[in-house]
Amino acid sequence: MITGTGITKTYKQRGHILGGRDVQALRGVDFDVKKGGAVTFIGESGCGKTTLGRIVAGLETCDSGEIVIDGTPMSGLRHRQRQAHFRRIQLIHQDPYSALNPTRTIYQTLHAPLALRARQTGRSKAWAEERARELLTLVGIDPGYVLPRYPHQLSGGMRQRVVIARALTVDPEMLVADESVSMIDVSLRLGILALLKDLRERLGVSVLFITHDIATARYIGEDGELYVIYRGQVVERGPTETVISAPVHPYTQALLSAIPVLRGVERPGAERVEPTEALDERHVDTGCLFARRCPFRTDECEAERPSLGNGGGTPQEHACFHPRPRSVIPVEACA
């Protein structure tokens, strides 16, 4: 559906007395989302996962690298043509409280894009109304209750469903969900995740899921792919289950080790990994970007930066000279 090769993005910090410093958000990322597939990006904040999501949704351009949608490279196209391609990829924002226009009812919010579509395709006005109801039913809310209301009259979970319904008005082939459940109450989160999963299964919509909560990635697509991003570089990539149960990159291991253990239900993994120091973005080493914080670093790691590959015969790809699977995730405690 959409592939990217060698995507880089640098933000220039301006207005600083000393000229500011450049922040390299992405350092040559390759990705590939298949039709109907599920891909998850995980990483700490500032690792570039949101930037990548925005590039995929066409809201941000990259400095170098190429994005190809269904075989068409985006680089040579004019703005309008590019827009037509990116319309099929819709972004679902993190914050359902600010993603909806507070002065418009849900009816107005959903009706505007549908009416435009009806005009373009020569359908009747009644179709737009019917479609708005259909979409709301699809995302699991009662159209009769929601349509005449303003966003502030709805709960966070309902608003997020409305945002998803709005994204569906243009019949997208892919949804980019950037931390879409982090601001929603715990008991309702799973409902939104189940909805995304359901849309994927029923409509064949691809889902790109961006999160720092790895367990939710599992829920969206066990058959999906997981990308672990660290400082703008993919450090591990493979089938979700494999990366979670047998991670080989020390950064992935540190990330998974940090997940709280539900004591009483689970016990911690036997080989938990902890970074040796906190992240300091000012240091950009020529070697492995994680080397400074890595408890397993060797001289080799400091001299050269490893690239993504299957070195050591692992089922997943990784960027590490010393890949070794470790059991770091909490395991079910036997009752």
Q: Does 244 bind other proteins (CB under 8 A)?
A: yes
- Please tell me the count of residues contacting other proteins according to CB under 8 A: 47
Q: Does 248 bind other proteins (CB under 8 A)?
A: no
Q: How far apart are CA 189 and CA 67, in angstroms?
A: 32
Please report how close the Cβ of residue 298 comes to other proteins at its closest, in angstroms.
Answer: 22
Q: Does 331 bind other proteins (CB under 8 A)?
A: yes
CA distances from residue 111 to 44, 63, 80, 114, 141 in whole angstroms, order as listed: 37, 36, 23, 5, 16
Q: Does 303 bind other proteins (CB under 8 A)?
A: no
Q: Could you say which residues in the range 52-111 bind other proteins, by CB under 8 A?
A: none
Binding-residue pattern over the window 176 to 215 for other proteins, x denoting contact by CB under 8 A: ---------xxxxxxx-xx-----------------x-xx
Q: Does 330 bind other proteins (CB under 8 A)?
A: yes
Strand order in the sheet with 206-211: 89-92, 174-178, 206-211, 38-42, 225-230, 233-239, 317-318
Choose, by CB under 8 A, the member of 76, 264, 270, 282 that binds other proteins: 264
Choose, by CB under 8 A, the member of 259, 287, 302, 322 that binds other proteins: 259
Beta carbon nearer to other proteins, 233 or 257: 257
Please report how close the Cβ of residue 328 comes to other proteins at its closest, in angstroms.
Answer: 9
Please report how close the Cβ of residue 229 comes to other proteins at its closest, in angstroms.
Answer: 13
Choose, by CB under 8 A, the member of 157, 172, 232, 306 that binds other proteins: 157
Q: How far apart are CA 306 and CA 308, in angstroms?
A: 7
Choose, by CB under 8 A, the member of 59, 84, 262, 303 that binds other proteins: 262
Q: What is the largest CA-CA distance in the chain?
A: 69
Please report how close the Cβ of residue 48 comes to other proteins at its closest, in angstroms.
Answer: 14
Please report how close the Cβ of residue 297 comes to other proteins at its closest, in angstroms.
Answer: 17
Is the four-CA dihedral 201, 172, 215, 290 of positive or negative sign?
Answer: positive
Q: Does 18 bind other proteins (CB under 8 A)?
A: no
Please choose, from the candidates 142, 132, 205, 141, the residue with its C-alpha nearest in 3D space to the C-alpha of residue 169.
132
Binding-residue pattern over the window 213 to 232 for other proteins, x denoting contact by CB under 8 A: -xxx-xx--x----------
Q: How far apart are CA 289 and CA 266, in angstroms?
A: 32
Beta carbon nearer to other proteins, 212 or 324: 212
Q: Does 332 bind other proteins (CB under 8 A)?
A: yes
Contacting positions for other proteins (CB under 8 A)? 44-45, 155-158, 185-191, 193-194, 212, 214-216, 218-219, 222, 244-245, 254-266, 274-275, 278-279, 329-333, 335
